[in-house]
Structure 1
Amino acid sequence: MRELTYYVATSLDGRIAAPDGTWGAFLDEGDHMDVLVDEYADTLPGHVQNALGIRSSGTLFDTVIMGWTTYAAALDAGIVSPYPHLRQFVATRHRQSESPDVTVTADPVATVRELREEDGAGIWLAGGGDLAGTLIDSVDRLILKINPVVLGDGVPLFGGASYADRSFERTRLRAFDSGVVIAEYTRRAGGGS
Structure 2
Amino acid sequence: MTSRTTLKPDTDPAVTIVPGDPLALARELKNEAGAGLDIWLCGGGQLAGTLLPEIDELLIKTYPVIAGTGIAVVDGPFDPTVFDVAERTAFPNGVTLTHLTRR
Describe the SS at the equivalent of 1:179.
Answer: coil
Count of aligned positions: 96
Q: Which runs of 5+ in 2 are unaligned?
A: none
1:96 offset after TM fit, Å?
Answer: 4.5
Please give the alpha-carbon distance, in whole angstroms, between the structure 1 residues aligned to 2:19 and 2:61: 27
Among 141, 149, 165, which residue is 2:80 paired with? 165
Please give the alpha-carbon distance, in whole angstroms, between the structure 2 residues aligned to 1:105 and 1:116: 18
- Residue 169 of structure 1 contacts residue 187 of structure 1 at CA under 8 Å; is this kept in 2? yes
Aligned partner of 1:113 in structure 2 is 27
- Residue 105 of structure 1 contacts residue 111 of structure 1 at CA under 8 Å; is this kept in 2? no
For 1:150, the aligned partner's letter is I
Matched, 1:174 2:89: yes
Task: Determine what percentage of the aligned residue pairs are the same residue.
Answer: 39
Higher relative contact order (CA 8 A, sep 6+): 1
Please give the alpha-carbon distance, in whole angstroms, between the structure 1 residues aligned to 2:95 and 2:8: 36
Deviating above 4 A after TM superposition, structure 1's stretches of 4 or more consecutive aligned residues are: none
Please give the alpha-carbon distance, in whole angstroms, between the structure 1 residues aligned to 2:78 and 2:55: 15
Structure with more of its chain in strand, by fraction: 1
Please give the alpha-carbon distance, in whole angstroms, between the structure 1 residues aligned to 2:52 and 2:68: 22
1:147 offset after TM fit, Å?
Answer: 1.4
Give the TM-score, by structure 2 length: 0.82
Structure with more of its chain in helix, by fraction: 1
Cα RMSD (Å): 1.8
Aligned partner of 1:150 in structure 2 is 66
Please give the alpha-carbon distance, in whole angstroms, between the structure 2 residues aligned to 1:136 and 1:152: 25
Describe the SS at the equivalent of 2:68.
Answer: coil
1:1-193 counterparts in 2 under 5 A? 69=5, 92=6, 96-98=8-10, 99-101=12-14, 102-118=16-32, 119-120=34-35, 121-159=37-75, 161-188=76-103
Q: Which runs of 5+ in 1 are unaligned?
A: 1-67, 70-91, 189-193
Describe the SS at the equivalent of 2:80.
Answer: coil
